[in-house]
Amino acid sequence: MPWKDKLKQLKGEFDSLVSGGGQSSHAQAPPPGHFQQQQQQQQPPGYGYGPGPGPGPGPGPGPGPGPGPGYGYGHGPGPGHAPPNAPPPVPPHPPQQTRPGEQQQQQPPPVPPHPPATAAASGPVYWRPQFRPDVPVTVEWDAKLGNGPDGWGNQELEHYTANPENAFHTPDGRLVIRAVANSAAPSREQRYTSARLVSRQTLSRDRGVLTGFIVSPCAAGIWPAFWLLPREPFAWPTDGEIDIAETWNGDRENHTCLHWGQHHEPQKHRVLGTRIPDMHARPVRYDFAWDQPGGQAGQGRMLWYIDGRPVMKAQVPPGTRPLRDMTVLLNVAMGGNVCAGKTPADGYYDMVVCALWMADELEYGGWGRFEHDWGNPGTPQGNTY
């Protein structure tokens, strides 16, 4: 019938129009869920800062976001898992994303990126160690070895090594001090290993500021420290010890300290605690500023800062070595008296140094800021034992 022929003609023209104008876009449209899967495949591995997956799980999925294996600052491999022969890289922290139906509190706190080099200091920087993978750590640091006398004086468990498993640079410009607990290792020297680095560089000047951005591991039996001791040989503690950043047993409290006497001489110690609940999850800024005119031993002033806020001040004690002779120490101790005898669970514990430098003066005010903070009655002088 003619009307049927006409209908077929119109239908053919319509099909031709549809196939010519829109078929290619329809052919490229992904099936439901394909785009989401593609996005997930492009995400970097999850990287969680914090207590990690906890004792028991192996080095697989951690608390980090994303579908890849999480990497926790804290407990890594579970009991019986030996550490790998080479340290895994420390990838940058991916942006936090919350998918529909997920709760934000399940995600670990975000970690700020590596502070840029341009933010170093308002005054000239006269020392900045190179945190590059092609530069061996030992170029600018001496690695202490072994368990020391009486567990480094505190009955500590760790054996310090110069191995890249315990201290290494990352591709994104960080220095990682890694303590590894592996109770299943065959020898005592292998069960608890870590690194204790001493800078070849000294403060070298009579006034200046030492700055570090550090993520600290927080867990039972773990004791990271960023501190100063005189260049060897020296007499401890009478030559002086300055503690800039240390925390133990996961208390998430920074312990600012000055020591120049034995433990039975309480008047020769100054200590002060500062709560930093997220010190395990972000780079905290620590500054130590000193002014010792003429480098005269036993004279001068010191100020400690956390995230730009002065937290303690002290006179340089009599009988101590000139501050210009001080070296920088970075280490992660394990167990011992300071940790109240607690033993860390099997796993990795990373102290991440994101930036470190020595400069001529404080940022945002220089020595005028130092004088203001020193004279401020709100800046505490610390407590004795």
- pTM for this model (two decimals): 0.71
Contact 313, 381 (CB under 8 A): yes
Average pLDDT over residues 215-226: 98
Residue bearing the bigger pLDDT, 108 or 237: 237
Query: Which of 328, 304, 380, 85 has the alpha carbon at shortest distance from 198?
Result: 328
* Res 29 pLDDT > 70: no
- Within 13 Å, how many C-alpha atoms sit on residue 197's CB side? 27
* Res 383 pLDDT > 60: yes
Average pLDDT, the chain: 78
| Structure confidence at residue 36 (pLDDT) | 30
From residue 205, how far is each of 258, 328, 352 by CA, in Å?
Answer: 19, 14, 27
Determine which of 29-38, 138-147, 155-164 has the lowest per-residue pLDDT on average: 29-38
| Structure confidence at residue 258 (pLDDT) | 98
Alpha-carbon span 34 to 38, nearest angstrom? 6
| Structure confidence at residue 297 (pLDDT) | 82
Determine which of 84-88, 153-157, 376-380 has the lowest per-residue pLDDT on average: 84-88
* Res 44 pLDDT > 70: no
| Structure confidence at residue 153 (pLDDT) | 85
| Interval 351-362: pLDDT, tens | 999 999 999 999
Report percent pLDDT > 90 for the chain.
64
| Structure confidence at residue 115 (pLDDT) | 44
| Structure confidence at residue 317 (pLDDT) | 96
Indicate the pLDDT class of residue 385, thresholds 50, 70 and 90: confident
Indicate the pLDDT class of residue 15, thresholds 50, 70 and 90: low
| Structure confidence at residue 248 (pLDDT) | 96
Q: Kindly give, in sequence order, each residue whose CB lies less than 8 Å from that of residue 266, ignoring residues fewer than 6 positions away.
A: 384, 385
Indicate the pLDDT class of residue 70, thresholds 50, 70 and 90: very low
| Structure confidence at residue 9 (pLDDT) | 62
Average pLDDT over residues 64-69: 32
Residue bearing the bigger pLDDT, 192 or 11: 192
| Structure confidence at residue 330 (pLDDT) | 98
* Res 174 pLDDT > 50: yes
| Structure confidence at residue 227 (pLDDT) | 98
| Structure confidence at residue 366 (pLDDT) | 96
* Res 292 pLDDT > 50: yes
